[in-house]
Chain A
Amino acid sequence: MKKKKMIISRETMDVDFVRKVEALSGTSVRRCFQCGKCSAGCPMATFMEHPPNRVVRLLQLGQWQRVLAGRSIWYCASCETCSTRCPNKVHLASIMDALRKLSWDLDGPSKESYVQLANKIFLDNIRIYGRQYEMRLAAVFNVKSGQFLKDMMLGPKLLSKGKLKMFHSKNKNMPEIEKIFARIEEMRRKGEAL
Chain B
Amino acid sequence: MTTPLNYSYYPGCSLHASAGEYDLSTRELFKALKIGLTEVPDWFCCGATPAHNVDELLSLSLCAKNLELAEQVEGDLAVACAACFSRLKTAQHVLGESPVKRKQVEKALDAPLHLDGNVKHLLDILARDLGLERLAAAVNKPLTGLKVACYYGCLLTRPTDVTNLDCVEAPTIMERVIESAGATTVAWTHRLECCGANFTLSRPGVVIQLANAILDSAKAAGADCIMVGCPLCHGNLDIRQKEIEGVYNVEYNLPVFYLTQLVGLAVGLGPDKLGLDAMIVNPMPLLKEKNLS
Q: Do A and B come from one complex?
A: yes
* Complex Cα gap A126–B87 (Å): 15
* Complex Cα gap A134–B12 (Å): 12
Given contacts A24-B56, A180-B62, A180-B109, contact A163 B20 (CB under 8 A): yes
- List residues of chain B with CB within 8 A of the CB of A98: 56
- List residues of chain B with CB within 8 A of the CB of A81: 154, 158, 194
Question: Is residue A84 within 8 Å, beta carbon to beta carbon, of the partner chain?
Answer: yes
Q: Which residue of A lies closest to B163 (CB)?
A: A80
- Asked if B194 contacts A77 (CB within 8 A), the reply is yes
- On chain B, the number of residues with a Cβ less than 8 Å from chain A's Cβ atoms is 60
- Asked if B104 contacts A118 (CB within 8 A), the reply is no
A125 shortest CB reach to chain B, Å? 8
Given contacts A83-B159, A84-B158, A192-B104, contact A171 B44 (CB under 8 A): yes
- List residues of chain A with CB within 8 A of the CB of B61: 180, 184
- Asked if A158 contacts B154 (CB within 8 A), the reply is no
Given contacts A84-B168, A118-B202, A119-B53, contact A179 B110 (CB under 8 A): yes
- Asked if B45 contacts A163 (CB within 8 A), the reply is no
Question: Is residue B37 within 8 Å, beta carbon to beta carbon, of the partner chain?
Answer: no
- Asked if B13 contacts A117 (CB within 8 A), the reply is no
In-complex Cβ contact of A192 among B47, B49, B107, B194 (8 A) = B107
A positions within 8 Å CB-CB of B: 24, 26, 43-44, 47, 75, 77-81, 83-84, 91, 93, 97-98, 100-101, 104, 114-119, 122-123, 125-126, 130-135, 137-138, 141, 150-151, 154, 157-158, 161-165, 171-173, 176-177, 179-181, 183-184, 187, 192-194
Given contacts A134-B17, A177-B44, contact A77 B154 (CB under 8 A): yes
B55 shortest CB reach to chain A, Å? 6
* Complex Cα gap A146–B160 (Å): 40
- Interface residues in B236-251 by Cβ distance below 8 A to A read 239, 243
- List residues of chain B with CB within 8 A of the CB of A126: 44-45, 47, 51, 62
- Asked if B57 contacts A132 (CB within 8 A), the reply is no
B17 shortest CB reach to chain A, Å? 5
- Asked if B45 contacts A132 (CB within 8 A), the reply is yes
In-complex Cβ contact of B54 among A119, A158, A173 (8 A) = A119
B positions within 8 Å CB-CB of A: 13-14, 16-20, 42-45, 47-58, 61-62, 65, 94, 97-98, 101, 104, 107-110, 154-155, 158-160, 168-169, 193-194, 196-199, 201-204, 206, 210, 239, 243, 277-280
Given contacts A43-B194, A163-B278, A180-B65, contact A114 B202 (CB under 8 A): yes
- Asked if A158 contacts B18 (CB within 8 A), the reply is yes
* Complex Cα gap A150–B204 (Å): 9
B266 shortest CB reach to chain A, Å? 24
- Asked if B202 contacts A80 (CB within 8 A), the reply is no
A-B contact pairs, 20 of them (CB 8 A): A75-B203, A79-B197, A80-B158, A116-B54, A118-B202, A122-B51, A123-B47, A126-B47, A137-B201, A141-B201, A150-B204, A162-B278, A163-B239, A171-B42, A180-B61, A183-B109, A184-B55, A184-B61, A187-B107, A187-B108
A166 shortest CB reach to chain B, Å? 11
